[in-house]
Structure 1
């Protein structure tokens, strides 16, 4: 016998997936983080500049893109707020991070707004609105090095 999930249960599952995304990313558990995505999941960066990719598609590409994140950044996420939508599988979240770039020791203080479409408990599309200048400054770079 199959039971239907209520809209609230679907919303809670989608928000739980998002919370796990933050948990696994801050813990450096990239393989587990990647498992939160559909096989053809997409990470979309609307404000990407220069050498930053605008889009990463597919689990293998997601893993390859993120595998070195814990070697370069130590972060903790906080102030998570969800904004409920009509679609219970659509998550809109606002949150912050605090941390540092491990090679430079520079701070990494970021504010995010994420729009995440889930399907059946997996991330289908993760649209990540963040300021790439914060990352550039944290790694000790200059904007010209990234847009040249």
Structure 2
């Protein structure tokens, strides 16, 4: 995992989100899960069928992330714009993540806008807005739906 900017308790929300984006490419899914609070709530309002629209708790998030770790990899993140808000715990981030399916090396790109709340250096909630059409290539790689 990439070296943290600082310990979780002293990381700012911006630093936590920046670390999250680096960890997407440089770390494991377990490393990613370490950036989320035990009682995290992740909502994906525009998710396609087969993917969970809501995940509650770090354990559930970690299990889903690790379930797909062998199916695809992330190569890079770009187009990053971070917006700090009037609420010091909330950061809005726009980005694109590029990756490849493990089975056939087919490339994919996913664009997101995430509204992330960070408390004590850990993500406590995230509303992730992505284009469900872009995730079709990922859905095709799933042996079973993640939301079952």
Give the TM-score normalised by the residue count of structure 1.
0.79
Alpha-carbon separation, structure 2, partners of 1:106 and 1:94? 24
Alpha-carbon separation, structure 1, partners of 2:96 and 2:137? 17
**Bigger strand share:** 2
Which deviations, in whole Å up to 9, do the C-alpha atoms of 1:12-59 show, x marking residues without a partner?
710111112122222342222112111100111110122211111111
Aligned to 2:85: 85
Q: What is the total number of aligned residue pairs between the two structures?
A: 133
Alpha-carbon separation, structure 1, partners of 2:129 and 2:106? 21
* 1:140 Cα deviation from its structure 2 partner: 4.2
Alignment of 1:97 with 2:88, yes or no, is: no
Alignment RMSD (CA, Å): 2.2
Unaligned runs of 5+ in 1: 1-9
Structure number with the bigger relative contact order (C-alpha 8 A, sep ≥ 6) is 2
Aligned to 2:6: none
SS in 2 for 1:52: coil
| Contact 1:103/1:139 (<8 A) preserved | no
| Contact 1:34/1:63 (<8 A) preserved | yes
| Contact 2:14/2:84 (<8 A) preserved | no
Alpha-carbon separation, structure 1, partners of 2:139 and 2:48? 15
Unaligned runs of 5+ in 2: 1-9
SS in 2 for 1:67: helix
Alpha-carbon separation, structure 2, partners of 1:38 and 1:32? 13
Structure with higher Rg: it is 1
Moved over 6 A (4+): none
**Bigger helix share:** 1
Equivalent residues in 2 for 1:17-56 (5 A)?
17-56=16-55
Give the TM-score normalised by the residue count of structure 2.
0.79
